[in-house]
Amino acid sequence: MPTASQIKQFLIGTVVPPLAGALATWIVGTGVLAIFHVSTSEVAYEVTQIATFGIVTGIAWLTSHHILTGSYQQDTPPVAPIAGK
């Protein structure tokens, strides 16, 4: 029986990329944007802005996460030394 982590990994790595590509191809290829009077350059600009926000936020989160991990100390008792060393 697959675990939740394995299912997430399968969905994110195998299912989502083709669906995202198909959706992007459909949106650009069918002229759906013309219904809303949106040009492809405006969409490209917005996608760039969202990607930039996501990357910067992700890097900031990772940086703060590693800083917190490095300064965090658990309340565990010290380990006794091994005899003979």
Assess if residue 54 is contained within a domain.
yes
Assess if residue 37 is contained within a domain.
yes
Assess if residue 43 is contained within a domain.
yes
Per residue in 3-43, pLDDT (tens digit) is 888 888 888 788 888 888 888 878 777 777 777 788 878 88
User: How many domains does one find in the chain?
Assistant: 1
Assess if residue 79 is contained within a domain.
no
Contact by Cβ (8 Å): 26, 32: yes
Domain with 40 in it? 30-60
- For residue 28, give every residue at least 6 positions away whose Cβ sits within 8 Å of its Cβ, in sequence order, or none: 40, 43
Q: How far is CA 16 from CA 49, 51, 55, 58, 71, in A?
A: 21, 17, 19, 19, 36
Assess if residue 39 is contained within a domain.
yes
Assess if residue 38 is contained within a domain.
yes
Q: How far is CA 78 from CA 17, 24, 58, 75, in A?
A: 47, 55, 35, 9
pTM (global) more than 0.75: no
